[in-house]
Amino acid sequence: MPGIGTLKSFLVHLLSEFPTAMTYTSSTVLVPDVSAVPRHIAIIMDGNGRWATQRRLPRVAGHTRGVDAVRATVEACARAGVEYLTLFAFSSENWRRPEDEVSFLMRLFVTALEREIGKLHANGIRLRVVGDLGAFDRRIQDLIRRAETKTARNTRLTLTIAANYGGRWDIMQATRKLVEESARTGRPVEVSEEAFSEHLAMAYAPEPDLFIRTGGEQRISNFLLWQLAYTEFYFTDTFWPDFDANSLSHAIASYGGRERRFGRTSAQLEPQSQNADSLSC
Ligand code: FPP
Atom of ligand 1 nearest to the CA of 108: 13
3-state helix, strand, coil in the chain (%, to 5): 50, 15, 35
Mean pLDDT, residues 81-88 taken together: 98
pTM over 0.75: yes
Torsion, Cα 36 20 13 145, to 10 degrees, reads: -100
Closest to 13 measured CA to CA, from 151, 145, 153:
153
pLDDT in the model for residue 24? 55
Q: How many residues does the chain have?
A: 281
Catalytic residue among 94, 123, 132, 244: 94
Please tell me what DSSP assigns to residue 207.
Answer: P
pLDDT tens digit sequence for 17-28: 444 444 457 888
Res. 69: pLDDT tops 90: yes
The span from the first CA to the last CA of the chain, in angstroms, equals: 59
Mutate to test the pocket of ligand 1, among 45, 67, 117, 219 (most ligand atoms within 8 A of CB): 45
The CA distance from 168 to 172, in Å, is 6
Q: Which of 199, 254, 207, 258 is nearest to 228 (CA)?
A: 207
pLDDT band per the 50, 70, 90 thresholds, residue 32: confident
Whole-number Å distance, alpha carbon 48 to ligand 1 midpoint, is: 5
Query: Are the CB atoms for 222 and 132 separated by under 8 Å?
Result: no
Alpha helices for 32-136 (secondary structure H): 48-54, 59-80, 99-122
Q: What is the DSSP letter of 247?
A: H
pLDDT in tens, 182-230: 999 999 999 999 999 999 999 999 999 999 999 999 999 999 999 999 9
Is 209 tagged catalytic? no
Please tell me if the CB atom of residue 94 comes closer than 6 angstroms to any atom of ligand 1. Answer: yes
**What's phi and psi for 130, nearest 5 deg?**
-120, 150
Q: Which one-letter amino acid corresponds to residue 241?
A: P
pLDDT score for 277: 46
Q: Is 45 in the pocket of ligand 1 (CB under 6 A)?
A: yes
List the one residue out of 263, 255, 262, 272 whose CA is nearest residue 35: 255
Output Rg (C-alpha) for the chain, integer angstroms.
Answer: 20
CB 67 less than 6 A from any atom of ligand 1: yes
Give residue-wise pLDDT tens across range 221-251: 999 999 999 999 999 999 999 999 999 999 9
